Amino acid sequence: MNAAPMQIAPEYRAAGTDLSERRRSGISSGPLIDIAGKADAAITWGTDGAATIGALTTIATIATDARIRHAYPGLAASAAGVATPQIRHLATLGGNIAQRSRCWYFRNPHIDCLKKGGGDCPARAGNHLYGVAFDLGPCVAPHPSTMAAALSAHEARISTDRRSTLTIETLLGDGRDGRSDHALEAGEMIRQVVLPVPLAGERALYKRAISRADAEWPLVELCARAVIADGSFTFVRLAAGGIAPVPLRLLASEAALAGSPADAATIAHAARLAISGARPLPMTEYKLDLLSGLVRDLLEQLAV
Amino acid sequence: MIQGIGYALYEARESDPFTGRVLSGSMDDYRIPGIADTPQLDVHFDEEGFDHVPGGSVGIGEIATVPTSPAIANAVRDAIGVRLTEIPLRTDRILAAVKGRTAA
């Protein structure tokens, strides 16, 4: 540690569902700024039918709002998969996007790591059972935000108090840094999520591979959107979480599906392509089976 | 019996292989079954009593907890055709067994 005290940027506290735990363990010890009740918590609709969701909208609202469920079924399903009813009732969209890593090493106050100003990632050589299978950067923790993966599948745009029309990829980075869970500037606050105009005939699903029936961090998760016309996929977006340091768009699978018949052969091919570019760690090869299986499972359901 | 389900499927003290530091230090990371993981349980009581036991002291916890894990392991063997010899019966271990890989 430096001799001079480190300048610690204040952290925002929305619902504080995760922050409370990090305060108790000492992982978070700097100043806080409460924003609950201050920023935007409303869902507004444009004349074109597109929604803008305020950052303090709760996950439960997104999961249950009738118009969101109709226009953006994949987003609503993803929200319904998050955590527990109690957490969803309080937790906010902005907080979920800016969610900190679930890595055991990051959460342990006695262990140094990249995300706490340390020099390397102890999980890489250590125990990374729940680590990434797309090894894109020095930190091996998967990105923890379910909503960020869903928003990536929707190609949503994020506005902060300083910048607008950010993609999820710009907001969270490409995973090569490893020192942070997002690429927000110090003190920058997420304000709004702007969704695109809903597609006619879209069907969408979300599924997380977990070992308990409910209430568990995903081993791998997938938000899948598709439009099928005349027996062929005309539009597909697939975004996976739990498997890379950032939400992962499955571009090779999407490209193989677009314009192809919605049949078993196409789906099997896309499921194999889902793991294109994967670099599993010694303990995470199983996640590739889960990813491939999720792609197959959701596409089969969408193609029915 | 519910504790036995956790023993079979979830409970594990994970540690760092170099420092030995415990990594699964919270109830979020040290998994136990939730209510949705708990099936309907049929409980049978031995109505013969335990008066014949010397001293009259009878264990009750372990008797129900310990055999639950081999029962679940046998069910997994029956489902996938491969026998796992290590608990908890984690996702990665089941996938590795099915694929003939060595699990982490």
On the question of pLDDT at B50 being above 90, the answer is no
On the question of pLDDT at A295 being above 80, the answer is yes
Identity of the residue in B23, B26, B101 whose CB atom sits nearest the CB atom of A127? B23
Which residue type is seen at A77? A
Would you give the end-to-end CA distance of chain B in angstroms? 28
On the question of pLDDT at A3 being above 60, the answer is no
Q: A227-281 pLDDT, tens per residue?
A: 999 999 999 999 999 999 999 999 999 999 999 999 999 999 999 999 999 999 9
Q: Confidence class of residue B48 from pLDDT cuts 50, 70 and 90?
A: confident
Touching check for B104 and chain A: CB below 8 Å? yes
Chain B residues with CB under 8 Å of A126 CB are 16-18
Q: Are A303 and A267 in contact (CB under 8 A)?
A: yes
Closest among A218, A216, A214 to A248, alpha carbons compared: A218
**DSSP class per residue in chain A:** --SSPP-PPPEEESS-TTHHHHHHHTS--S-EEE-TTTS---EEE-TTS-EEEETT-BHHHHHH-HHHHHH-HHHHHHHHHSS-HHHHHH-BHHHHHTPPP--HHHH-TTS--GGGT-SS-HHHHS--TTS-SB--SS--PPP--HHHHHHHHTT-EEEESS--SB-HHHHH--SS--S-SS-PPTT--EEEEEPPPPPTTEEEEEEEE-SSSSS---SEEEEEEEEEETTEEEEEEEEEESSSSS-EE-HHHHHHHTTSBSSHHHHHHHHHHTTTT-B--TT-THHHHHHHHHHHHHHHHHH-
Q: Is B86 marked active-site? A: no
- Set B11, B14, B47, B62: catalytic member: B62
Q: A18-76 pLDDT, tens per residue?
A: 999 999 999 999 999 999 876 688 999 999 999 999 999 999 999 999 999 999 999 99
Mutate to test the interface with A, among B23, B89, B90 (most CBs of A within 10 A): B23
The whole-model pTM stands at 0.94
The residues spanned by each domain of chain A are 40-304
On the question of pLDDT at A124 being above 90, the answer is yes
Q: A137-154 pLDDT, tens per residue?
A: 999 999 999 999 999 999
Identity of the residue in B24, B34, B96 whose CB atom sits nearest the CB atom of A212? B34
Q: Confidence class of residue B43 from pLDDT cuts 50, 70 and 90?
A: confident
**Interchain pair A286, B33: CB under 8 A:** no
**Interchain pair A212, B36: CB under 8 A:** yes
pLDDT value for A5: 47
ipTM: 0.89
pLDDT value for A133: 98
pLDDT value for B55: 85
Does CATH number 3.30.365.10 belong to domain B2-99?
yes
Task: State the fold for domain A40-304.
Answer: Enolase-like; domain 1 (3.30.390)
pLDDT value for A2: 42
Higher-pLDDT residue of A11, B59: A11
Among A14-18, A119-123, B22-26, B62-66, name the one with the lowest average pLDDT: B62-66
